[in-house]
Amino acid sequence: MRQKLIALSFIFYNMALCPAAAQVVETDLDDLDDEDGIEVIDDDDEEDDNLADVQEGFDFPEALTDANLDSLMSQYMSKTYLSTAGDCEMLSQNPDFPSEVYIERLSRMPTVMEMAYNDVVRSCIDRYMVRLRRQVSYMLGAANFYMPIFEQALDTYQLPLELKYLPIIESALNPTAVSHAGATGLWQFMLATGRAYGLEVTSLSDDRRDPVKSSMAAARYLRDLYQLFGDWNLVIAAYNCGPENINRAIRRSGGKRDYWEIYPYLPKETRGYVPAFIAANYAMTYYCEHGICPMTSKLPVKTDTVMVSRNITFQQVAQACDLDVDMVRSLNPVYRRDVVPGLSAPSVLRLPVNDVARFIDMEDSIYAMAGQQTLKRQEVEVEERPTPQPRPKQRATKQRATKRQGRSGGSASYATARRGDSLGAIARRNHTTVAKLKKLNGLRGDKITVGQKLRVK
C-alpha cells in the first residue's frame, strides 16, 4: 500500500515591517575575566579597531566563519537555483551609520523578542555586513527554500516567528552541516538531544538532517526551554550552551535572570550567541540599506513523497526516473549514504511532483533492479576444508587390528595351569605378560589352581 505524505512546496518569502520596541542595553565588559574558567583572549579577526575590546570578550558562533561559505555554495540547491542578481550591484564597502540608526531600525522590526542594541550587537552586525556580505547574499536566496518550513513549525507551537533566523547562526542554512562538537543539521541538534525529541539516527539515516522533522523538533525544544526560563534571550542562550550552563551563570550572578546581567558568566560562544541572533534578524531585514544584493532564487519544482519498502540507492532512483542524482540527494538530505533503507522500516523518498507518478509506475522494476544490485550479501556459503588425519604408527596399527580381531570373534588361545605353575611361568611359555593374562581373564590377584584354564591371547 503506497502512502503519500503532504506535498512540500517552496514559496518565496517576503518580510513586512511594523513598529516594535527596542532597547539599548549596556554590557559591563570589565566583568569579563578568567574566573570560573571563562577565558578572555584577543580576536585576530576584528573588522573594526574600535570594537577590538568588545570582541575580546566573546566568540562568534561557528556558522559565522568564512570556511562555511565554500561548502554552502557547493550545494546542489545553491548551484542550481541561486545566481548573482544581474540588476543589483553590491557595494564593495559597508556604509557607516551612527548608533541611533541601528537602534531605530531594530525598534521597527515586528518582533515579540527583545532586539536590544549595544556594542556587542553592533560588532555582530558589522561582521555580517562587512566580512560576511557574500554569505548574507547566499542566505537571502536560500531563505526561500527553508523559511516556509521554519515558519510552519514555529506557528504550530505558537512561538515567535523571528526564531526562524536561529538556523542562520546555527548552520548558515546548510542542512548537512556538522559542527566540531558533532551537532548536525539546520538546527544543529546533538545526538542525545535529537533522540530525546524523536529524531532517529542510524548509520544510513539522520533525522537531524531532515528540514521538516528537525524544525518540528526544534520548535518543541524551544517551547520547553521557554517553559523553563520564561525569557526568550535565556532560551536562545540555553539552545546554544544547554540549560545547565544558564542555571550555573544565574547562580554565579547572584540569581539574576536577565541575559545581559549574566553575560559575564556565560561561555564565550554563548556571549556572542544572542547578539549574533539579533544581528541575523537585522541583516536579513536591512541588507538593502547596506548595499548587499540577495542572490536571485529560481523557485524549485514542487515535490511530493512516496513510501519505499526496499533498500534502494539514489543512483537507482535517478537512473529509473531520469533524474540528476544530485537533485535526489538534495531533496533527501536525511539519508547519509545515498541509500533509502526501506527494508528496515518504510522510508520516505522525496521527488519532484511530476516524477512521483513515474516512480510509482516503475516501482516493481526499481525494486527488482535493487535486488540484483544488493549492497550487502544476505547469505554466504562457507566451504569447509577436510581436516587431515594424522598418519598412525605401525605398532599402534597392529594393536588396533588385534583389538578389532578380538571384538570381531577371532580365535583365542588358552593354557591349562599345571602343578607348580604361576602366572609368570604361564606368561613366559605363551610369550605374553602377567598383566595381559590378568586382563584377559579378569584376575585381580596372582593365585591360580591346578587345571584352571587361562586365556593367553
Alpha-helix residue ranges (DSSP H) falling in 67-198: 67-73, 76-81, 99-107, 119-126, 133-156, 166-171, 191-196
Burial of residue 200, with CB atoms counted within 10 A of its CB: 0-12 exposed, 13-18 middle, 19 or more buried:
middle
Asked if 185 contacts 171 with a C-beta cutoff of 8 angstroms, the reply is yes
What is residue 394's predicted lDDT score, i.e. its pLDDT? 53
Measured distance CA(190)–CA(152) in Å, rounded: 23
- Count other C-beta atoms under 10 Å from residue 251's C-beta: 12
Global model pTM greater than 0.75: no
What is residue 392's predicted lDDT score, i.e. its pLDDT? 59
- Count other C-beta atoms under 10 Å from residue 86's C-beta: 8
What is residue 64's predicted lDDT score, i.e. its pLDDT? 66
Per-residue confidence of the chain (457 residues) as pLDDT tens digits?
333 333 333 333 333 323 333 556 655 544 444 333 333 223 334 444 444 445 556 777 776 665 565 666 667 677 777 787 777 878 878 898 999 999 999 999 999 999 999 999 999 999 999 988 888 998 898 888 899 999 999 999 999 999 999 999 999 888 999 988 899 999 999 999 999 999 999 999 999 999 999 999 999 999 999 999 999 999 999 999 999 999 999 999 999 999 999 999 999 989 999 999 999 999 999 999 999 998 887 766 688 999 999 999 999 999 989 999 988 998 899 999 999 999 899 999 999 998 999 999 988 888 887 766 655 666 777 777 766 666 655 555 555 545 555 444 456 788 888 888 888 888 888 888 888 888 888 888 888 888 888 888 8
What is residue 23's predicted lDDT score, i.e. its pLDDT? 55
- Residue 340 β-bridge partners: 312
What is residue 416's predicted lDDT score, i.e. its pLDDT? 87
Contacts with 180 (C-beta within 8 Å, 6 or more apart), sequence order: 62
What is residue 204's predicted lDDT score, i.e. its pLDDT? 95
- Count other C-beta atoms under 10 Å from residue 235's C-beta: 26
Amino acid identity of residue 271, one-letter, is: R
Among 162, 170, 200, 269, the one annotated catalytic:
170
Give catalytic status of residue 383 as yes or no.
Answer: no
pLDDT in tens, 67-116: 565 666 667 677 777 787 777 878 878 898 999 999 999 999 999 999 99
Measured distance CA(288)–CA(311) in Å, rounded: 47
What is residue 299's predicted lDDT score, i.e. its pLDDT? 61
What is residue 66's predicted lDDT score, i.e. its pLDDT? 58
What is residue 297's predicted lDDT score, i.e. its pLDDT? 75
Measured distance CA(333)–CA(314) in Å, rounded: 11
Which among 16, 17, 27, 109 is positioned nearest to 274, based on CA atoms?
27
What is residue 17's predicted lDDT score, i.e. its pLDDT? 29
Helix (H) or strand (E) holding 269, with range, is helix 268-271
What is residue 42's predicted lDDT score, i.e. its pLDDT? 34
